[in-house]
């Protein structure tokens, strides 16, 4: 360390003085480490770990509600198995139709927890502090999307696993059943991942526009729920009349597109009653991928501007 007030760097025009403050001489981790830390911290934040119990209530209650039907089906699997053995037809929830049936509740999860991930950093003005450190705006956005995608993926997989266990228990020979069931189950993994990514990109991009959680949540309600209801209404008008273009309108719906893309992974055609006859699952897969792209770009552009 140089003596105090000795110039540490000098040029003819000016000098920088070493005031004798202690320097940090330990190891410096790089960007990846910073991103990883932010990812872990955000992930804990979504589920309320390291926060008071009240912060855990919302995510876990909503996850409970979302998975409830799958868990009920698991609990009553023996009853269903007997009913089917008698030859009754039982309308069971499947890996393919679970999201389409219960999507409002996973959307509720996005509404409740999505703003949590990004709003506080803006409300309390810590975002510029993050961005003056090792993290760039892009790193920040990527870490946040990754954290929320992971959270949603976990939430989406909980009922899938419950369904899997339930289906296995319905069979007589459990070991044989696991082998039979796995091929049906596997598409749920990439499908859930795409849904998680799509919901996370939309949630965070829209949340980043307001530093207040309340307003962000309203924005998400408007985009996820109101838009979906309006599209359903337009679609219904189309069915009643001779309009052609309305049968493609569901491509614009955030959860409809993801639900159609989900069907693509399971190799089935989206239900014509709600999706129309014109488009197949591949169109919805395209729409879902496009929406991931668009909303991720919006989020990145949004944080680019923070610096200035």
Smallest distance, Å, CB 119 to another protein? 12
Question: Pick from 111, 168, 170, 195: which binds another protein (CB under 8 A)?
Answer: 111
Count CA atoms within 13 Å of residue 13 on its CB side: 0
Across the strands, what pairs with 34? none
Nearer Cβ to another protein (234/306):
234
Tokens of 20: 């004798």
What angle (nearest 5°) sits at the alpha carbon of residue 185, between those of residues 252 and 144? 50
Question: Pick from 85, 233, 278, 304: which binds another protein (CB under 8 A)?
Answer: 233
Nearer Cβ to another protein (144/213):
213
Question: Pick from 93, 165, 238, 274: which binds another protein (CB under 8 A)?
Answer: 238
Question: Pick from 34, 35, 100, 108: which binds another protein (CB under 8 A)?
Answer: 108
Contact 195, 156 (CB under 8 A): yes
How far is residue 137 CA from its own chain's centroid?
20
DSSP state of 308: -
Q: Does 92 bind another protein (CB under 8 A)?
A: no
Q: Does 72 bind another protein (CB under 8 A)?
A: no
Q: Distance between CA atoms of 88 and 90, rounded to whole angstroms?
A: 6
Q: Distance between CA atoms of 259 and 274, rounded to whole angstroms?
A: 11
Q: Does 58 bind another protein (CB under 8 A)?
A: yes
Contacts of 93 (CB under 8 A, 6+ apart): 69, 70, 73, 101, 163
- Measured CA to CA in angstroms, residue 126 lies from 45, 47, 130, 144 at distances of 15, 21, 6, 14
DSSP letters spanning 208-262: TT-SSHHHHHHHHHIIIIIHHHHHHHHHHHHHHS--SGGGGGGGG-HHHHHHHHH
Question: Pick from 38, 217, 285, 298: which binds another protein (CB under 8 A)?
Answer: 217
Question: Pick from 237, 268, 290, 301: which binds another protein (CB under 8 A)?
Answer: 237
Q: How far apart are the first and last CA of the chain?
A: 35
Q: Does 222 bind another protein (CB under 8 A)?
A: yes
Q: Does 193 bind another protein (CB under 8 A)?
A: no
SS3 86: coil
Number of residues that bind another protein (CB under 8 A): 34
Smallest distance, Å, CB 279 to another protein? 20
Smallest distance, Å, CB 97 to another protein? 17
Q: Distance between CA atoms of 290 and 284, rounded to whole angstroms?
A: 10
Binding to another protein, residues 240-279 (CB under 8 A): 240-243
Smallest distance, Å, CB 169 to another protein? 26
- Contacting range for another protein; rule: CB under 8 A; set: 172-180, 191-199, 200-208, 239-247: 239-247
DSSP state of 224: I
Smallest distance, Å, CB 24 to another protein? 20
Question: Pick from 161, 165, 169, 232: which binds another protein (CB under 8 A)?
Answer: 232
Nearer Cβ to another protein (58/143):
58
Residues found near another protein in the complex (CB under 8 A): 4-5, 58, 62, 65, 104-105, 108, 111-112, 210, 212-215, 217-219, 221-222, 225-226, 229-230, 232-234, 236-238, 240-243
């Amino acid at each position: 360390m140089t003596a105090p007030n000795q110039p540490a760097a000098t040029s003819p025009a000016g000098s920088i003085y070493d005031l004798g403050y202690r320097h940090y001489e330990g190891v410096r981790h790089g960007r990846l480490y910073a991103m990883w830390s932010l990812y872990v911290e955000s992930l804990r934040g979504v589920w309320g770990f390291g926060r008071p119990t009240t912060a855990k209530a919302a995510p876990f209650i909503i996850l409970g509600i979302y998975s409830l039907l799958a868990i009920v089906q698991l609990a009553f699997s023996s009853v269903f198995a007997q009913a089917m053995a008698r030859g009754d037809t039982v309308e069971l929830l499947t890996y393919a139709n679970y999201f389409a049936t219960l999507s409002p509740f996973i959307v509720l999860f996005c509404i409740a927890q999505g703003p949590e991930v990004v709003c506080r950093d803006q409300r309390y003005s810590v975002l510029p502090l993050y961005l003056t450190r090792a993290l760039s705006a892009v790193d920040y956005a990527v870490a946040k999307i990754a954290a929320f995608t992971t959270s949603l993926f976990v939430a989406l997989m909980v009922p899938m696993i419950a369904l899997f266990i339930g289906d296995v228990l319905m069979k007589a020979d459990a070991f044989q059943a696991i082998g039979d069931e796995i091929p049906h189950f596997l598409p749920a993994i990439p499908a859930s991942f795409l849904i998680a990514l799509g919901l996370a990109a939309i949630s965070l991009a829209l949340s980043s526009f307001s530093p207040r959680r309340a307003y962000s949540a309203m924005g998400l309600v408007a985009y996820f729920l109101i838009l979906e209801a309006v599209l359903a209404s337009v679609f219904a008008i189309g069915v009643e009349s001779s309009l052609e273009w309305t049968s493609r309108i569901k491509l614009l719906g955030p959860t409809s597109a993801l639900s159609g893309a989900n069907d693509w992974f399971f190799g089935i055609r989206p239900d014509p009653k709600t999706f129309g006859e014109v488009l197949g699952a591949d169109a919805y897969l395209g729409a879902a991928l496009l929406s991931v792209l668009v909303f991720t770009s919006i989020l990145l552009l949004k944080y680019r501007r923070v610096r200035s």
